[in-house]
Amino acid sequence: MIPRLFVAASLGQGQRITLDADRTHYIKNVMRRALGDAVGLFNGRDGEWLGHIDIYGRNSAEIALNSQRRPQLASPDIWLAFAPVKRARIDFIAEKATELGVSLLWPVMTRRAEPSRVNIERLTNIAVEAAEQTERLDIPVVRDATQLDKMLAEWPRDRKLFVCAEAGEALPVAEAMVAHKGMPAGILIGPEGGFAPAELDALRKLPFVVAIGLGPRLLRAETAAVVALACWQALAGDGATVDSRPPFRNEFLS
């Protein structure tokens, strides 16, 4: 298996890319790659490029790019907004959502959300590692944690928001997602204690919100995120396409 690494630098024919200490440690000591071995690089803008390890320094490595392996593709346009949960579970959400192709991760503070600080840099790094392992050519945008009312005020009105409602009236997930197939969409997952009744009432009044149910069992927040994304991918999502969106640059990776 050829190691794949996400880098911030631009990629092109004949370029030489210097890896930082962490990525050098990974390919040299974890993957045990020697000089001349192949490495794949991607940056979310220029597709994936195949190169070889040309130089090992003390805390760096230089990759000489040989050819483009794949042109740039965009992941399906699905967003995931979620109430923060405990650290191990929020890490799981970021990892699995990236594997399932989300284009944006948005932590949202609700009344019953886990009150601890959300580490956006950590979530970004988890998303990068998940993208490297799953053949993605981009990484999701990771937004700063936002209060629910502010998130709703900023939400694009042409993007449907599927709210996983654990109480009250809700459409079956299959019916809701098939009915809105092909539309820009997002999914909102509540906290472990569920949305407060007032929050659900306010959400249902918004014209871009569709309340959905995920079945008869009460799911953990991280399980609900995986189930909802898998359903969207199977019922309403489309495959990766040539990317025409503006490139995203993350301050933690530049």
- Which residue, of 71, 106, 123, is where some domain finishes? 71
Compute the average pLDDT of residues 110-128.
Answer: 90
Q: Answer yes or no: do 184 and 234 share one domain.
A: yes
Using an 8 Å Cβ cutoff, are 54 and 63 in contact? yes
Name the pTM for this structure: 0.87
Q: What is the CATH number of the domain that holds 41?
A: 2.40.240.20
How many distinct structural domains can be found in the chain? 2
Tell me the residue range of the domain where 138 lies. Answer: 74-242
Say if 89 falls within a structural domain. Answer: yes
Q: What is the CATH number of the domain that holds 216?
A: 3.40.1280.10
> What pLDDT sits at residue 243?
45
Say if 250 falls within a structural domain. Answer: no
Say if 249 falls within a structural domain. Answer: no
**Residues contacting residue 134 through CB under 8 Å, at least 6 positions apart:** 98, 99
Say if 143 falls within a structural domain. Answer: yes
- Report how far residue 10's alpha carbon sits from residue 77's, in angstroms, rounded to the nearest whole number: 24
> What pLDDT sits at residue 239?
52
Q: Answer yes or no: do 58 and 82 share one domain.
A: no
Residue 114 pLDDT grade (very low, low, confident, very high; cuts 50, 70, 90)? confident
Q: Answer yes or no: do 107 and 150 share one domain.
A: yes
Say if 21 falls within a structural domain. Answer: yes
Say if 248 falls within a structural domain. Answer: no
Q: Answer yes or no: do 17 and 142 share one domain.
A: no
**Residues contacting residue 45 through CB under 8 Å, at least 6 positions apart:** 10, 11, 72, 247
Say if 29 falls within a structural domain. Answer: yes
Q: In this predicted model, what pLDDT tens digit does every residue of 235-249 receive, in sequence order?
A: 877 554 444 444 434
**Residues contacting residue 28 through CB under 8 Å, at least 6 positions apart:** 56, 61
- Which residue, of 41, 71, 101, is where some domain finishes? 71
- Which residue, of 51, 71, 91, is where some domain finishes? 71
Q: Answer yes or no: do 39 and 89 share one domain.
A: no
Q: Answer yes or no: do 234 and 140 share one domain.
A: yes
Compute the average pLDDT of residues 122-129.
Answer: 96
